[in-house]
Amino acid sequence: MTPAQQHAHDAARFTELVESAGPGDWTRPSPVAGWTALDVVKHLVEWSRGFLRGAGIELPALDVAAGPAAAWKQHAAEIQAILDDPAGRVLSNPHTGDKPVDEAIDQFYTADVWMHTWDLAKALGREPDLGQDRCAAALAAMRPIEQLLRDSGQYGPAVPVADDASPQDQLMAFIGRDPTWRP
């Protein structure tokens, strides 16, 4: 898939979860220690807007807490518009260097939406399915840079799982989530 197609797919799956949440669901705990379901959405909306400043893209702040579904849908549409017409923009970041904006969004943001779909689904009491093949591929790509990922502070310590655990459970455990977590 192109970066635009991948984002459209992953954002649509996340949107389904956001739209299914009732008002009382936003305070439910998530598998990310100290985060609620609302915090998962706020994270995806807020960090990416700061990240895009590296490409000279200024998106207005959104009040996620006031309307999580509306804010998420507006945010996802704004990101999709950038991906649909990247206009040769380059994102400059001291940690990642210079990358075409669509590649940077795909590599860092869309992948984050995909993985945090698991967190939001779990917080809402649903069983997520990130796709076993995609999970296996992501895990294979992450293992060689494990120390770099851990040093970034973005991932917790790996959680032990059985050798025969599913690729999704292995990936979630690798990034510091307990695959058996329940709200």
DSSP for residue 89: -
Q: How confident is the model at residue 97 (pLDDT cuts 50, 70, 90)?
A: confident
DSSP string of 65-82? TT-HHHHHHHHHHHHHHH
The yes-or-no verdict on residue 128 having pLDDT over 80 is: yes
Dihedral pair phi/psi, residue 116, rounded to 5°: -75, -10
Mean pLDDT of the chain: 93
Tokens of 32: 């990310």
pLDDT at 12 over 90: yes
How many helices (DSSP H) and strands (DSSP E) are in the chain?
Answer: 8, 2
Identify the structural domains of the chain with CATH numbers, from first to last.
3-128 (1.20.120.450), 132-178 (no CATH)
Between CA 125 and CA 88 the distance in angstroms is 41
Which has the higher per-residue pLDDT, 52 or 122?
122
Please give the pLDDT value at position 155. Answer: 84
pLDDT at 36 over 90: yes
In angstroms, the first-to-last Cα distance of the chain is: 33
Give Dmax over CA atoms of the chain in angstroms. 46
C-alpha distances (whole Å) from 169 to each of 45, 128, 173 are 26, 11, 6
Q: Is the pLDDT of residue 125 over 90?
A: yes
